């Protein structure tokens, strides 16, 4: 991988990790479509991904630094007391419950699923599936809004009728957490399925995005730290990779800020249509070998 390719991949990963468009799908598709010669099965590619993920997780930690301090304190207080008294303590326990299924499934299934689905054709197909999922989540959400008799009000007023992240049930947090495992399939977006799951659990769009980003941080960080020793393997261009990771972090920070603002009144539909269009276009380009 050349210097510029490393920078481009860092920017791409950071920008697409938090948007509901599948960073893994883009990481598989874009190099194939550009006919880049590096192979993602190459052993030196794994440390690169590790650093990119650490860059993204760092951006999320910086973005939510105050909340993470409160969540950490709330977690230990509630765990030692054996009861929940504040919304922050409840949120900390919801995050633990939501992280467990992703951790178990990640350790036991991630590498197997990724090796099964690493073809660009499969990534393009699942990108279309991801788009359909986003549209499906919004369709179900619109039904919930009609049931809540929120049809004839502005989008912001409509959003206020839905819940905060700390108000969802533990069962919903467990299901949303388990949905993260779907993102091991290139083309399926982790943030997309968790935001969609949050919407189905009755969260506001902005809160669903916040819950998704908070839920992502420990999983991405743990994956990065566990694979960390690979960085010290011989032949790894650490300087080049670190620069890619910094770019990934900057892009992830900007994306998260944008998305939190966007979801105050926006929906998942544009990303759903983008995924369908990008998947179809990629399939056409791959088939025609352009």
Partner 1 sequence: MRSNSLSIGLAVLGVIFLVIGVLYAFGVLQFFVTDPNSPHHYTHLILFVVLAAAAFIAANFTRERAV
Residue numbers at the binding site for partner 1 (CB under 8 A): 79-80, 82-83, 93, 96-97, 100, 103-104, 107-108, 111, 222, 226
Would you give the DSSP letter of residue 221?
H
Query: How far apart, in whole angstroms, are the C-alpha atoms of residue 52 and residue 10?
Result: 6
Query: How far apart, in whole angstroms, are the C-alpha atoms of residue 216 and residue 204?
Result: 18
Contact 55, 14 (CB under 8 A): yes
Which CB, 109 or 277, lies closer to partner 1? 109
Of the candidates 106, 103, 127, which has an alpha carbon nearest to the alpha carbon of residue 30? 127
- Min dist CB 229 to partner 1, Å, is 9
**Which tokens sit at 272?**
């759903």
Q: Which helix (H) or strand (E) holds 191?
A: helix 190-200
- Min dist CB 45 to partner 1, Å, is 16
- Angle 8-51-109 (CA atoms, 0-180°, nearest 5)? 105
- Min dist CB 38 to partner 1, Å, is 23
Which CB, 89 or 206, lies closer to partner 1? 89
Which CB, 177 or 192, lies closer to partner 1? 177
Which CB, 112 or 261, lies closer to partner 1? 112
- Min dist CB 83 to partner 1, Å, is 7
C-alpha distance from residue 195 to each of 41, 116, 198, 211, 269 (Å): 30, 25, 5, 8, 12
Which CB, 1 or 223, lies closer to partner 1? 223
- Min dist CB 207 to partner 1, Å, is 24
């Amino acid at each position: 991988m050349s210097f510029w390719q490393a920078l481009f991949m860092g920017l791409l990963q950071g920008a697409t990790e938090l948007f509901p468009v599948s960073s893994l799908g883009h990481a598989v598709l874009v190099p194939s479509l550009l006919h880049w010669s590096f192979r993602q099965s190459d052993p030196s590619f794994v440390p690169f991904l590790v650093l990119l993920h650490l860059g993204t997780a760092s951006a999320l930690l910086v973005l939510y630094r105050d909340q993470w301090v409160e969540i950490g304190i709330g977690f230990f207080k509630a765990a030692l007391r054996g009861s929940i008294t504040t919304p922050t303590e409840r949120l900390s326990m919801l995050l633990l419950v939501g992280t467990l299924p992703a951790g178990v499934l990640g350790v036991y299934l991630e590498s197997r699923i990724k090796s099964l689905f690493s073809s660009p054709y499969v990534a393009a197909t699942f990108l279309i599936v991801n788009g359909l999922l986003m549209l499906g989540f919004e369709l179900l959400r619109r039904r919930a809004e009609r049931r809540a008799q929120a049809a004839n009000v502005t989008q912001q007023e409509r959003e206020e009728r839905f819940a905060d992240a700390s108000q969802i049930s533990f069962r919903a947090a467990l299901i949303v957490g388990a949905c993260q495992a779907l993102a091991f399939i290139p083309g399926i977006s982790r943030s997309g399925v968790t935001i969609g799951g949050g919407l189905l659990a009755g969260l506001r769009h902005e809160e669903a995005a916040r819950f998704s980003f908070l839920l992502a941080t420990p999983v991405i960080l743990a994956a990065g730290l566990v694979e960390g020793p690979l960085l010290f393997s011989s032949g790894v261009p650490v300087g080049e990779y670190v620069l890619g990771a910094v770019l990934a972090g900057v892009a992830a920070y900007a994306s998260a800020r944008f998305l939190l603002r966007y979801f105050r009144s926006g929906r998942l539909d544009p990303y759903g249509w983008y995924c369908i269009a990008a998947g179809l276009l990629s399939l056409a380009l791959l088939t025609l070998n352009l």
